[in-house]
Amino acid sequence: GITGYVHESHLADVKLQHPEKKFREGITVKARVLSVRPRKRQLRLTLKKTLVNSDAPIVKNYDDAEVGMQTPGTITGFTAAGAQLEFFGDVRGFLPLSQMSEAYIKDPKEHFRVGQVVSVHVLDVNPEERRMVVSCKDPSAFGLDKQAALKALKIGDIVSAKVSQKTEDEVFVDLEESGLKAIIRTGHLSDKSASKTQAAWKRINVGNLLSDLVVLDKNERRRAVILTQKPSFAEASKKGTLLSSAEDVTVGAVVPAYVREIGPFAVYVQFGGSLTGILPKAKLPKDAQEKPAFGMRKHQSIEVKIVSSNPEQNRIIVAPASADEPAPIAPESAVNSVDDSIKTINDIALGTILNAKVMSIKNTQLNVKVADNIQGRIDVSQFFDAWENIKNLKNPLQQVKANEIIRVRAIGIHDSKNYRFLPFSHRSTHSLIEFTAKASDIKAKEVELLSYDKIEVGSSHVAFVNNHGKNCLWVNLSPTVRGRISIMDVSDDLSHAGNLEKYFPVGSALKVRVLSVDADKGHLDLSSRSSTGSSEVTWDSLKKNMTLPGRVTKVNDRSVMVKLSDSVSGPVHLVDLCDNYDEANTLKYTKGEIIRVSVVEVDKSNKRLRLSTRPSRILSSTSPVADREITKLPQISSGDIIRGFVKNVTDKGVFVQLGGTVSAYVKIGNLSDRYIKDWKGNFQVDQLVKGRVINVDTAINQVELSLKASVVENDYTPPVTYKDIKEGQIVTGKVRKVEEFGAFIVVDNSHNVSGLCHRSEMAEKPVEDARRLYSEGDVVKAKILSVDDERKRITFSLKPSHFDEDSDMEDVEGGAELASDEDSDVEMGDGGVQLTISGTDNFDDSDEDEDDEEEEEEEDDSDVEMEDKAATGKGLSAGKYDWTGDAFDESDGESTSKTKKPTATEKKEKKQSGIQVDRTADLDAHGPQTATDYERLLLGEPDSSQLWIQYMALQMKVSELAKAREIAERAIKTINIREQMEKLNVWIAYLNLEVAYGTKASTEEVFKRACQYNDEQEVHERLASIYIQSGKLKQADDVFQSLVAKFKSKSPKVWENYAHFLHVTMNEPDRARALLPRATQALEERHTAQLMASFGALEFKSPNGDAERGRTTFETILATWPKRFDLWNQLADLEISAAEPDATAIRDVFERGAKAKGLKPKKAMKWFKRWAEWEQKLSPKGRDKVMAKAQEWVTAAKAKKGAAEEDDEE
């Protein structure tokens, strides 16, 4: 079904105190869709009756909205300027404060609330900017006559109005004749003092008629009119002197204004409309300048005189009308002039040549004086005519002496306050005269200063360091031209870049070349590297093992990014930082630092680079290399001890970075010798770890590592692989599985190296049924008869004649069998005739299944499968209390890691009979029969869950429930913490016990404890299986609901198992189908295809399923993922294996699959072959048609490939 979400604010038009009382599960409600988001599978609804029953036009997108349209909206929040509203879909709108009501509203929260539905009409809409402005005002209240009246109203008009409302700050009035609403601020009621203005406010009452009101401002869009009652404005309006635009301003005119704002350095005054002026502090009287706020208040009337006006910038400078006219200032006389021709400061103009005295020598300038009261400066760039004239490059001005008289020429003004070069017209109190001392400038008729627009790319200039920036030098080419030199372009010797202050002090001279110039923005990039120097590092010039200097641009915990040039940069990873990983620390490098790096690998095509700072690479270091550099997989061999840094921590294990693209995988079982429940907490990215290589597979570029201390130690023996197995070798192992035709044996201390011993090789005499001689878990000694390297098949022999007890056997050294990750996966509810402990894994730790051509069935224990066959069984049934029957005869008998070695007694028995197998647990021909027998056996095997569970079953035979529980508790406490699978088996048996014979409370208590000490998801799944097999389906349903609630985003199998249970066992397909949208929303997107396929398959397989619904599901999947050809195969399987196969539907699947996008030739061949075999069963003619279609497909594929090759050649 489709589910929707109703936000709390949309439950009703009013806020509900107890919504749970009104809305109970199962009741029917009428809702309206607010928005739909298909990608997120979200459906938002509203139950507000105002919206549900509204007949107004619906605004679902901005294009639907039209100016004047009336529609309902919901308030979602408030701002200082108004309220935010939401409509249907993703449409949002803004309700300005002025548009909330015809009456004045100060605080909208006093009149509206969040979640309230208001009827608004659209004032303005812009679909491109996704913006809409709305109003609550009645549009009919502002008709055409009022719109015309507002348009006809001019700033400066004198009107009369009646008072409609009064607040402390404003008076609201209705204009006579037009009826337009207007506002008079309290400060505009009088020209006089604040007390007189307040008195005028008190005299005003609602209903009073006010005359001689002047229109100060208006806003037609907001329908706002601002009035003033100031007599000065009324008089100016009558005389026509009230200013309302910059074009009307006349310099020297005296006009009325009022104070709008008061700043720290100026007062801002306003005239009519939005025209404002600036009254600088300096223009105010001395006594007023010292008063707070210059003795003024907001809205105070003031008469001002226009001092200057710039209409283009809308800038007006004013002064108080009462201010005295300043007396003309006589030019300042030159005091003790160095040059006799200079009598006053006005004698110095642009181009004036004169004598000046050097007063002080700085790094970048000479400070000079023309007279005691006339100072100037000479920039270092204006002192030297040519590069050859500079004697000291690091301190060019050192050759000038203090008090020296030099000939100079005035070229401009230097503002000492903000260090800017200005023209002569900008002379002020903060300015110095800018001079040039270049001989060429003094001789020239006119001085042309260098500017950005005169600079060309590639031209050379003399520059002087002005300051040091971050990763660059800032240099001056002239007083007005400044440029940047990147740290990589400072010198041919990049080692100088490591200490710019030392090699390039402020004031030092550089010969530079222009790289780029942007005259408009004033950007200039320069280089001081010689044009004949080493060329810039490029991807084409890079070679392996080159040692280069570079600049650190970024540092994080796992790498250092180094820039070799503007176009080339690369990382130095942790494995490449040093020769000893204990010293690897990226944080010892700082951004901007210059370091030496060596090129390890270069991928020019993908512009990838691997750099190294190992001393063994960049220096002639003789220090020992503790951690060798790894660049390729062949450098690693099985058994190597190696260190690396954790690259990634996943649910399946840990990945370790060994060097470059070489990484190693560490399974969970290989992380530690001891059991770690929260193993992820012990590992983090970039952690240094040490391990031993236990497997190298060059075919798939995979390295497997073990971090176990017992494995890393020097006496460790690597696990046996197929490569180690030789014909004629004698090995020890365990029987993994027994069939009538033979036994499958796993070699000890190996990576699941297994093979088949046919019954003809079990004894000297013929053997009819191998199951009579061997059981799963039996320890055996075998001889290797043959090895098929291609198919990885091994043939064993157990004949006694192959073994001579006194001979030297070429044994593969035995050891612990390492448990893989998949050991923890379970198959639930297998059903059948086995007398099993429900919910346990039946001690089946079988590894890979042999692909034997004779008759072995394939098993799949990688996923949790819920079967319905056992639904009729009892939870703990094996006879009445027999828990020791076939359930254990077919079990593996192993715990998780260690193989039990044969005892002395067993070795003796083996000598007596060549085909007798070690049976560790046997006391006699009938096995343990009493509590004493079990206690003796448990002393030798305290970690065997098989023995403990059989012991519990023994007690239940005599109805000793309390003793059975006591044994379960003993088992949980006794079994080693590392043997987690053994512990889990006991917990599951304990749960079986409680489900069958305990109470609901006792079952719940054991279940909670089991979840604390084991994988919680697995315990849930086992308990669900127990309930199903016990026929307690309601309890199983509750467990599944808890399972999906807790682990809904962890695994798709959780949802698939629950769906299978509802579909098949509970006969509730509708509930099962309702799980799919919940599952797709909870799980990651990568699971969606397979999840939908599983639900679709259920419709075919389940007796309650609907095959047509299943086909629809697969149609949706194939339309979304057309290149997933495995889904076509799955659909074909389902159609063919249907209870009532539809030949037309099956043929349609084959035909559409053959046309699938991206179908490869190999897959196509298999697909047509399968199609042909199916058609053959129906009719030979059908097979011929398929083969014809196959030939057509091949022809079309070849033509397409040929056309593609021709295009490539062209």
Q: Which residues contact 440 (CB under 8 A, 6 or more apart)?
A: 385
Mean pLDDT of 220-228: 82
Chain-centre distance for alpha carbon 840? 40
Range 1014-1024 average pLDDT: 89
Using a 10 angstrom Cβ sphere, with 0-12 exposed, 13-18 middle and 19 or more buried, the burial of residue 10 is: buried
pLDDT of res. 330:
56
What is the band of 920 on the pLDDT scale with cuts at 50, 70, 90? very low
Token pair for 1020: 């849930």
Least confident of 232-246, 342-356, 850-864, 1084-1098: 850-864
969-986 tens-digit pLDDT:
998 888 888 888 998 999
The domain over range 633-712 is classified in CATH as 2.40.50.140? yes
| Average pLDDT of the residues in 899-912 | 41
Angle between helices 1125-1136 and 1143-1154 (to 10 degrees): 170
The pLDDT of residue 859 is above 50:
no
Q: For 811-835, what is each residue's pLDDT tens digit?
A: 433 333 333 333 333 333 333 322 2
pLDDT at residue 814, as a whole number: 39
Mean of the per-residue pLDDT values for the chain?
Answer: 81
- Residue 1097: how many other CB atoms lie within 10 Å: 20
Beta pairing, strands 181-185 & 224-228: parallel
pLDDT of 1053: 87
pLDDT at 863 over 50: no
Nearest to 152 by CA among 127, 177, 131, 132: 177
Task: Kindly indicate the confidence band of residue 716, based on its pLDDT and cuts at 50, 70 and 90.
Answer: low
Band (72; pLDDT cuts 50, 70, 90): very high
Rounded to whole angstroms, what are the CA distances from 259 to 279, 304, 1018? 10, 11, 78
pLDDT band (50, 70, 90) for residue 914: very low
Q: Which two tokens stand for residue 168?
A: 């402390």
891 close to 882: Cβ distance less than 8 angstroms: no
pLDDT of residue 871: 35
141-163 confidence digits (pLDDT tens): 666 777 788 888 889 999 999 99
Does residue 355 contact residue 404 with C-beta atoms inside 8 Å? no
Which amino acid would we find at residue 735? V
Please tell me what DSSP assigns to residue 677: T
Ordered DSSP codes for 943-962:
T-HHHHHHHHHHHHHTT-HH
**Of 619 and 1044, which is predicted with more confidence?**
1044
* pLDDT category of residue 843 using cuts at 50, 70 and 90: very low
Delimit the domains of the chain by residue range: 5-140, 144-320, 345-449, 452-534, 539-623, 633-712, 819-853+862-900+941-1047, 1072-1207
**pLDDT tens readout for residues 641-663:** 899 999 999 988 999 999 888 99
Q: Say whether pLDDT at 892 is over 50.
A: no
Alpha-carbon distance 967 to 949, whole Å? 9
Confidence of residue 422 (pLDDT cuts 50, 70, 90): low
Tell whether domain 452-534 is in CATH 2.40.50.140: yes
User: For residue 166, what are its two tokens?
Assistant: 């009064």
Is residue 882 scored above 80 in pLDDT? no
Name the amino acid, one letter, at 245: S
Q: Which fold has domain 5-140?
A: OB fold (Dihydrolipoamide Acetyltransferase, E2P) (2.40.50)
pLDDT at 842: 35
Q: Is the pLDDT of residue 505 over 50?
A: yes
Return the higher-pLDDT residue of 68 and 393: 393
**Among 341-350, 675-684, 883-892, where is mean pLDDT lowest?**
883-892
Local structure of residue 719 (DSSP, 8 states): P
Mean pLDDT of 1035-1039: 89
* Nearest by Cα to 488 from 407, 398, 410, 563: 563
Of 879 and 232, the one with more pLDDT: 232
- What is the reported pLDDT for 269? 93
pLDDT computed for residue 665 by the predictor: 93
pLDDT one-digit tens code per residue, 748-767? 888 788 999 999 998 888 88
363 three-state secondary structure:
coil
Element (H, E) at 36: strand 32-37
3-state secondary structure 852-918: CCCCCCCCCCCCCCCCCHHHHCCCCCCCCCCCCCHHHHCCCCCCCCCCCCCCHHHHHHHHHCCCCCE
% of the chain residues with pLDDT over 90: 22
Residues in CB range of 892: below 8 A, 6 or more apart: 736, 776, 777, 843, 844, 845, 846
Does the structure show a pLDDT above 90 at 635? no
DSSP 508-571: -EEEEEEEEEETTTTEEEEE-S-TTSPPPP-TTT--TT-EEEEEEEEE-SSEEEEESSSS-EEE
Residue-level pLDDT at 86: 94
More confident residue, 75 or 315: 75
Q: What is the number of residues in the chain? A: 1210
**C-alpha dihedral sign at 300, 305, 308, 312:** positive
Give the integer Cα–Cα distance in Å for 484 and 23. Answer: 70
The pair of structure tokens assigned to 773 is 């001689």
Q: How far, CA to CA in Å, does 564 sit from each of 515, 531, 594, 844, 1180?
A: 18, 18, 10, 59, 71
Predicted confidence band of residue 895 (pLDDT cuts 50, 70, 90): very low
Residues 214-223, mean pLDDT to the nearest whole number: 83
pTM score: 0.35
Return all residues near 1184 (Cβ < 8 A) that are at least 6 apart.
Answer: none
Tell me the C-alpha distance between 226 and 153, whole Å: 11
Q: Same CATH topology for 5-140 and 452-534?
A: yes
pLDDT category at 337 given cuts 50, 70, 90 is confident
Residue 987 φ/ψ, nearest 5 degrees? -60, -40
> What is the rounded CA–CA span in Å between residue 716 and residue 708?
11
- Record the tokens describing residue 36, joined without a space: 């739909």
Which class in CATH covers the domain with range 144-320? Answer: mainly beta
The DSSP symbol for 330 reads P
Backbone CA torsion sign across 609, 594, 472, 436: negative
3-class SS at 361? strand
Provide mean pLDDT across the span 1185-1200: 85
Per-residue confidence (pLDDT) for residue 1096, from 0 to 100:
87
What is the C-alpha to C-alpha distance for residues 233 and 272, in angstroms, rounded to an integer? 9
CATH superfamily placement of domain 345-449 = Nucleic acid-binding proteins (2.40.50.140)
Residue 257 confidence (pLDDT): 94
pLDDT confidence bin for 1200, thresholds 50/70/90: confident
Residue 807 amino acid letter: S
Of 291, 228, 290, nearest in space to 257 by CA: 228
Question: Which of residues 487 and 838 earns the better pLDDT score?
Answer: 487
pLDDT tens digit string along 771-821?
Answer: 888 888 888 999 999 998 888 889 999 988 887 543 443 343 333 333 333
Q: In what order do the strands lie in the sheet with 608-612?
A: 569-573, 559-563, 547-555, 594-603, 608-612
> Quick one: which of 104, 113, 224 has its CA closest to 172?
104
Q: Is the pLDDT of residue 307 over 60?
A: yes
The residue with greater pLDDT, 79 or 932, is 79
Separation between Cα atoms, residue 824 and residue 819, nearest integer Å: 9
Beta bridge partners of 1146: none
- In the numeric block, which tokens belong to residue 251? 């310099």
CATH topology (fold) of 539-623 = OB fold (Dihydrolipoamide Acetyltransferase, E2P) (2.40.50)
